[in-house]
Structure 1
Amino acid sequence: MKKAFFLLLILGAALGAGAQARFLGQVKIEYERTVNVPAYYKDLDGEWYERIKERLPKQVTTYHEFIGDSTRSLYHPGKEAVLDPRSWYRPVADKNVIYTDFRAARTVAQKPVYEETFLIEDSLSKIKWRLTADTRVIAGYECRKAIGILDDSVAIFAFYTDEILIPGGPEGIQGLPGMILGMGVPRLHTTWFATKVDVFDIPMSTVKPATKGKKTSRAAMMKQVGEVLRDWGSFGSKMVVNFTI
């Protein structure tokens, strides 16, 4: 009788632990993308920043959505941000629409760059990740910190959860063993953090690549943008990184 009682206790504990664990295959995530505007402009051009700093907001937040599963995903603009019409700052690269095919390791990215819209069809960006022991809770999920290097030059920190079985994240950032719910790019003074995660009635039928834009590869787009922005001097050269993420 005692043996049977203890077996029931062990079984109950195991079932309880299993019920608490969440391993999700489909999600819709809302992100807030926040730019530290003074720091961003100070890095671009310190002298110009001193002239316009009184007209700059402390930060600007835009909104974005991710819908996907372990095979494909779509990242796109969310609700419209309210911007101060008197401010000199306008968000850069905030209208990207990124379709990712995780199985084929391919992406279709629609990126408006000033007066032109590119449609980039390419393989997924190569990011070198290093996992750390640091953790934090984001949108109710325990996340582990990872540090990545994109294009051997752009540092990224990311917090991912292995409770969501999708190797994706904001923009075109991917490649971790779980979903990225928090991310930062120090060179851009920009962070992305999930504020809401939906796991029911996910509209996967909307997960389709964009079709409008000038078809190109990532390397060709970056070359063209780099050539144009170089005419803007050091300011333009520093702006290029906005379009690499």
Structure 2
Amino acid sequence: MKNTIITILCLLALASSASAQNARFTTSGVIEFEKSVNMFAMMKKNISENTGSFWQEMYDSYKRNQPQFKLLKSTLSFTGDKTLFTPIAESEAGARNYFSNDPMVTQNNTIYSDLTTGLFTAQKQVYEETFLQKDSIRKINWKLTSEMRTIAGYECRRANAIILDSIYVVAFYTDKIPLSGGPESFTGLPGMILGVALPHENITWFAKTVADKPVSAAELKAPAKGKATDYKGLRKIIDDALKGWGNYARSALKAFTL
């Protein structure tokens, strides 16, 4: 009996070792993300921050004619130590309403990141102007947790952080994609970020599919068009342009500097 138990344990150990050796790590591919914005919740904030019947009427009209969640698509291509986040343009029908022009509910950034050099290039659409921001990748002070969640077929671990002084971020990453990237400018975890939530902003990004495939250098080029700037320069431009706009200016600044 003792010999039988030892034999079984040895076989289990060998099976576990073989499974670990055969575990596949994705090092190159394309992730499709879906950004979801709770429009009803965002408009409720506008109503609480602005007096008058105009906002309530706009909110009531939107609720009658539009879905609660606005959904936007994007892709994240990656290979080696480089990533390229690219928004997928909305259809015209999906963009025709007053609240959908808010910068927080649009996709303004195309971002190329080199995780080895710690530098990124971001093409940012700021209203009618296009800027090309080159800067160091944002360092985020993540705190890892034990919570797990399956996203796009990958087991992911939760991490929390605060960015831009006040924005609470929840992220889920997988170490089965050993690249410290993610959607938009969210990076810095020990694996690819497949899910991001900004609970107080009512916005999430979650991976829908992960295509494990080669990505060529031609598919992973940094954007090159736009007025050259860096974070400080872009922030000054936005501050100057929106001076006196109150709460709207704060919301727009968040959107353009995420």
> Is TM-score (shorter-chain normalized) higher than 0.5?
yes
Q: Distance in 1 between matches of 2:89 and 2:61?
A: 25
The aligned runs of 1:232-243 (5 Å cut-off) are: 232-243=245-256
- Among 73, 78, 92, which residue is 1:68 paired with? 78
Matched-pair contact (CA < 8 Å) for 1:32–1:195: yes
Note the aligned Cα RMSD (angstroms).
2.4
- Which string of whole-angstrom CA distances, capped at 9 and with x for unpartnered residues, describes residues 13-39 of structure 1? 4213433x3322112100000111121
**Distance in 2 between residues matched to 1:181 and 1:63, nearest whole Å:** 14
1:71 partner amino acid: D
Aligned letter for 1:148?
A
Aligned length in residues: 244
CA-CA distance at 1:79 after TM superposition: 5.9
Separation in structure 1 between the aligned mates of residue 146 and residue 92 of structure 2, nearest angstrom: 37
Name the TM-score, length of structure 1 as normaliser. Answer: 0.89
- Name the SS for the 2:194 alignment partner: strand
Aligned partner of 1:155 in structure 2 is 168
1:81 deviates by: 4.5
More moved, 182-191 vs 103-112: 182-191
Is residue 2:99 matched to residue 1:96?
Answer: no
Question: In structure 1, the residue corresponding to 2:132 is in which secondary structure?
Answer: strand
Moved more, 204-213 or 74-83: 74-83
In 2 relative to 1, CA 238–22 (structure 1 residues): closer, same or farther, beyond 3 Å? same
1:32-111 paired onto structure 2 within 5 Å: 32-46=34-48, 47=50, 49-56=55-62, 57=66, 58-78=68-88, 80-81=90-91, 83-84=93-94, 87-90=97-100, 92=103, 93-111=106-124
> Out of 149, 156, 160, which is 1:143 matched to?
156
TM-score by length of 2: 0.85
Give me the whole-angstrom Cα distance separating, in 2, the residues matched to 1:235 and 1:187.
Answer: 16
- Residue 50 of structure 1 aligns with an amino acid whose one-letter code is Q
Unaligned runs of 5+ residues in structure 1 are none
